[in-house]
Amino acid sequence: MGNRWVRTIEKSSEAESNVGSGLPPIPSLEVVYLTDPARLAEVLPPPLTPPEQPRVHVRVTDIDLHFGEHHYKELVGYFAVDAVHDGVTGEYPLLIPIDLESAISISREKHGEPKKLASLELTRDGDHVEGRIARNGVTFVEIVGDVAETLPVPAPYPATQWWFKFLPAVSGSGFDGDPLLVRFDQVRTPVTMERVEGKLVLRDEPTAPVVDLPVLETVSITYTTRSSANKASVVGPVDPVAFEPYAFSRYDH
């Protein structure tokens, strides 16, 4: 019997990391809305720059999978703004709430995903759908509505996210090593798409200040199932001094 505290590492020549690829289609309740462009610009760390349209993306996803006798279950939230880097418009997640504690540390440390523990729910009863995200006793995201029509299923399409990977300094100020900008490329493959008539309600929660990006216009609310092929890669280091004011929100405070 080997030492279980030590693991043999198999070296790989791959410079990119697949994240969550190969999963079957999973359901999501999603909202896209427009916010104040000045408010959106304020949350973007350099070198990200504001997009043409100040779009915010909110969703609750239910990952409920069976692999033989093994049952894997997690609910994941998402709160992101559009952002541009090097001419590419992608989504910059400010918060990825999740109800699976074991997924938080590895996601932050390996990829820079801004995950935080939360309570989530996604339910569907006939055509009625509800999604909620709560932390510290506050339901700070609530999506409620009814499916109004079935939409044509889009062809597979590319999507990009921007993440920041960093290590807070032992000294308590700055970082141990330069923060890194990570690019996350997806090809999303929808299987179903339905339009929802409903509403998004945002409430104040200090560790998830979503209300700082007010809803000015709802672009869409949809209930969809889709799969994706994913790939993460490091773009390069970013200015640690410029990034530091944005780093604290990745952890509870």
The reported pLDDT for the residue numbered 17 is: 61
Pairing state of beta strands 157-165 and 180-202?
antiparallel
Contact 199, 145 (CB under 8 A): yes
Least confident of 50-54, 86-90, 111-115, 189-193: 111-115
Domain boundaries, the chain: 26-250
Residue 232 has pLDDT above 70, yes or no: yes
- CB-based contacts of 84, cutoff 8 Å, min separation 6: 48, 49, 50, 51, 90
| Top-tier CATH class for 26-250 | mainly beta
Q: How confident is the model at residue 21 (pLDDT cuts 50, 70, 90)?
A: low
Size of the chain, expressed as the number of residues it contains? 253
Q: What is the pLDDT of residues 86-97, one digit of tens each?
A: 999 999 999 999
Residue written as tokens 């304020």? 42
Query: Over the stretch 28-51, which tens digit does the pLDDT of each residue have?
Result: 999 999 999 999 999 999 999 999
* End-to-end CA gap in the chain: 42
Q: What is the pLDDT of residue 241?
A: 95
Going by pLDDT thresholds of 50, 70 and 90, the confidence category of residue 216 is very high
HSE-up of residue 58 (Cα within 13 Å, Cβ side):
30
Give the model's pLDDT for residue 1.
57
For 62-78, how does the pLDDT look when each residue is reduced to its tens digit (9 = 90+)?
Answer: 998 877 788 888 999 99
